[in-house]
Amino acid sequence: MDEDGHILDATKVRHVTIKAGKIESLSGLVDPASHLNLDYPDHRVTTCVIAESFLVGAQIQFSEQGLAFAIISQSSYNHYGFVDYTQRLSDMIDAIKYKRNFNIKEPNSVKTKEQGSS
């Protein structure tokens, strides 16, 4: 963030969950085609809550009015064209289901040789 309260690199913005004035969880970086796209103003990120760092447990900054915000500068936006949000949502849901199913570990499961057991 610069001295005027503008984000220097909007491609490094993340979605976070805030609880009790601290980052409780954080996701990966935002996708410029959906969050910095001049062709889709309803989904565009414009302001961000300021935190001391991008770490779980990092303190959120406050102003006299509440949360402290930084502004995305106009130069951060670009025309990325059409984005099929319905397909992206469907792909995201499928990826989450796959990850959940892939990470399930049964307590009495038998490992294969490929997994390191004989």
Element spanning 63, H or E: strand 62-63
Range of weakest confidence among 30-34, 36-40, 84-88, 108-112: 108-112
pLDDT tier for residue 61 given thresholds of 50, 70 and 90 = very high
Q: Measured between alpha carbons, how far is 66 from 60 in angstroms, rounded to an integer?
A: 10
Which residues span the domain enclosing 51?
Answer: 6-104
pLDDT for residue 107: 52
Name the residue among 18, 40, 6, 13 with its Cα closest to residue 28. Answer: 13
Under the banding of pLDDT at 50, 70 and 90, the label for residue 1 is confident
Higher pLDDT residue, 61 or 28? 61
Q: Is residue 72 part of a domain?
A: yes
Q: For strand 47-49 and strand 69-72, is the pairing parallel, antiparallel, or unpaired?
A: antiparallel
Q: Which pLDDT value is given to residue 112? A: 44
99-109 pLDDT per residue, tens = 888 776 555 54
Task: Give the model confidence (pLDDT) of 16-30 as tens digits.
Answer: 999 999 999 998 888
For residues 69 and 105, which has the higher predicted lDDT (pLDDT)? 69
Residue 13 within a domain: yes
Residues 6+ apart with CB under 8 A from 79: 37, 38, 39
Structural domain count, the chain: 1
Give the global pTM: 0.69
DSSP class of residue 59 equals B
